[in-house]
Amino acid sequence: MAQILDGIGIRNQILEECKERVAKLAAARRPPGLTVILVGDDPASHIYVRNKIKACEEIGIRSQRLTPPADISTGELVALVEQLNAADDVDGILVQMPLPSQIDSKRVLLAISPEKDVDGLHPLNAGNLATNRPGPRPCTPSGIIQILKRCQIPIAGRRAVVVGRSDLVGKPMALLLLHEHATVTICHSKTVDLPGVCREADILVAAMGRPALITADYIKPGATVIDVGTNRISDRSVAERIFARAPEKLADFDKKGGLLVGDVHPVEVAERAGAYTPVPGGVGPLTIAMLMVNTIEIAERRLGLC
């Protein structure tokens, strides 16, 4: 059976390291500060923001959550971001996506000072990543690099295939793997013979948002498979397809009325891969840990302590 890459253990390790760095900053100057802006009532966003604030509390980062009214205009939100850009004690600014439809999200993200861009999504930081210059990196892909490194999975010289080309995950993932000297292929919805391309991968990263699409047929025996997908399934026929050989998971589905699954078939990957990240408990926990790391690094830079 394949090795399970335990994202929770690695997250805990990283948070312990963060605690020490935060304590040093607090002793030398002040604790790092993160401000999260949450607009609207998307339930998933509320959960994500709650977890981010909780992680800050756990390690001593000073956090604040701003919740402007759901009908705020783009101009008003940009003005709020500009106030935070100018605030000395705010190191990181995060605008939780998605924003309500009346707001021009790109304009808001562009308004965040690249220096305080904890999510690493500002075009200037995308450029820093593309050219391998220092700057905050998008949290999910940088968390995946941490999983690979801390589990001693070699990257240099390996064939890596990333399925998905979003600005948030796929593209930065491919660039980070490239900077670690992998030979990288990016796939998307127009890729011809996706299973064949995926089967070339020593490291396969699935970031599509398509429940259990990556089956055994896509996986080179012994490959490392990283599952970024976070899909809540509630249709029993989908659950039956995925969990035909895992009756305990099907029972769990029936009990809860739904389940979280990745983009990779959870039963087939365990039989064919060399190592893989489970869903939940794989990539997800790293995303918040890397947000903490980014906040601390920005604070260290702004306070001249690195």
Q: Which of 10, 38, 112, 208 is the binder for ligand NAP (CB under 6 A)?
A: 208
- 3-state per-residue secondary structure call for the chain: CCEECCHHHHHHHHHHHHHHHHHHHHHHCCCCEEEEECCCCCHHHHHHHHHHHHHHHHHCCEEEEECCCCCCCHHHHHHHHHHHHHCCCCCEEEECCCCCCCCCHHHHHHHCCHHHECCCCCHHHHHHHHCCCCCCCCHHHHHHHHHHHHCCCCCCCCEEEEECCCCCCHHHHHHHHHHCCCEEEEECCCCCCHHHHHCCCCEEEECCCCCCCECHHHCCCCCEEEECCCEEECCHHHHHHHCCCCHHHHHHHHHHCCEEECCECHHHHHHHCCEECCCCCCCHHHHHHHHHHHHHHHHHHHCCCC
Report how many residues bind ligand NAP under the rule CB under 6 A: 26
For ligand NAP, the closer CB: 135 or 164: 164
Shortest approach of ligand NAP to residue 240 CB, angstroms? 20
Is 52 known to be catalytic?
yes
Shortest approach of ligand NAP to residue 188 CB, angstroms? 4
Interface segment toward ligand NAP; rule CB under 6 A; list 30-38, 59-67, 283-291, 298-306: 283-291
For ligand NAP, the closer CB: 25 or 273: 273
Residue 5 interacts with ligand NAP (CB under 6 A)?
Answer: no
Q: Which of 11, 137, 165, 302 is the binder for ligand NAP (CB under 6 A)?
A: 165
For ligand NAP, the closer CB: 81 or 206: 206
Q: Which residues bind ligand NAP (CB under 6 A)?
A: 140, 163-166, 168-170, 187-191, 194, 207-210, 213, 228-231, 283-284, 287
Catalytic residue numbers read: 52, 96, 119
